[in-house]
Structure 1
């Protein structure tokens, strides 16, 4: 092999070794990333539950206010 081919093969070996290192690092981080994503998902689910309760509370307040208006004779004042 000539020097140019040898240099190109050496560059390829360096790139493959660098990629191997990066893959190893990513594989090592995978459990931590999965744990973080699970924690975020639990937080979003909990927030979704609280938001749902808040919406139902708002709807209940509107219905209660409408019922109070009707029971207080509010419809009698409309011409």
Structure 2
């Protein structure tokens, strides 16, 4: 992952969401939690591998979290963390 190595707030934000598709993933999650398939549908052109990688990267920097919904669905969803919303 690229790093701008700059203490500026904008540069730090780009360190987290500056990779291709990452900011668009954040945009999709700004509307609320989504399943992987919902994210893929909202991002035409992104491959499953790239979307999975971006979600892992965004989880690693506490922008996105993945959790399981309660019964009856038990599906996993992604949502922005408070840090990600900021």
Band of TM-score, shorter chain: under 0.3
Q: How does the TM-score come out when normalised to structure 1? A: 0.21
Q: If each structure's strand is expressed as a fraction of its own residues, which one has the higher value?
A: 2
Query: Highest relative contact order (Cα 8 Å, sep 6+), 1 or 2?
Result: 2
TM-score in terms of structure 2 length: 0.20
User: Greater CA radius of gyration, 1 or 2?
Assistant: 1
